[in-house]
């Protein structure tokens, strides 16, 4: 088995609340990544729900829709057996809400990482919606161990250091940022 792993990045324009459409976009990107020989596909932060979902994150039904879409997407991705797809999504567990990223492979959610550092400025009001986590997540493809971080996690040393301490050789970072006029000029 080769020690090389090809990673594809899905730069997609997700729509807030459109779980079906966002899943379709991810599936389309998975098809392209698979054709290109990739073993890993990285989607944006909260790709499944769209970003930023803001007060929709206060509704239990939003998380239920996310869970259902994630399970359905995992099953649909079975058609790409060599591809591990990292999907950003909201997650509610045990009364807490997280900004999460899960690895989908073999028709299953094989593991989940939850964002450590939650921004709290401008439209990034994540401390209102999410609970920070402090656990790393590492998954292996071939002989390469990948760690996950989400956006602001990489602005501070703790989350990347946790991934490295857990054995990550490569750090994959999901990122999402809302568009506004003039943003590219910044």
- Which residues are annotated as catalytic? 45, 115, 151
Three state DSSP letters for the chain: CCCCCCEEECCCCCCCCCHHHHHHHHHHHHHHHHHCCCCEEECCCCCCCCCCCHHHHHCHHHHHHHHHHHHHHHHHHHHCCCCEEEEEEEEEECCEEEEEEEEEECCEEEEEEECCCCCEECCEEHHHHCCCCCCCCEEEECCEEEEEEEHHHHHCCHHHHHHHHCCCCEEEEECCCCCCCCHHHC
């Amino acid at each position: 088995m080769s020690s090389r792993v090809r990673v594809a990045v899905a730069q997609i324009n997700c729509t807030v609340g459109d779980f079906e459409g966002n899943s379709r976009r991810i599936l389309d990107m998975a098809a392209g990544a698979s054709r290109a020989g990739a073993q890993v596909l990285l989607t944006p932060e909260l790709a499944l729900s769209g970003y930023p979902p803001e007060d929709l994150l206060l509704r239990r039904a939003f998380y239920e829709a996310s869970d259902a879409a994630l399970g359905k997407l995992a099953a649909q991705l079975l058609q790409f057996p060599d591809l591990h797809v990292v999907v950003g999504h909201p997650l509610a567990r045990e009364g807490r809400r997280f900004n999460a990223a899960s690895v989908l492979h073999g028709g299953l959610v094989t593991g989940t990482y939850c964002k450590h550092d939650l921004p709290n400025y401008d439209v990034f009001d994540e401390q209102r919606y999410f609970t920070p986590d402090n656990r790393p997540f590492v998954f292996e493809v071939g002989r390469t161990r990948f760690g996950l971080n989400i956006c602001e996690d990489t602005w501070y040393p703790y989350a990347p250091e946790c991934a490295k301490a857990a054995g990550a050789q490569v750090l994959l970072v999901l990122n999402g940022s809302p568009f506004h006029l003039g943003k590219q000029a910044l």
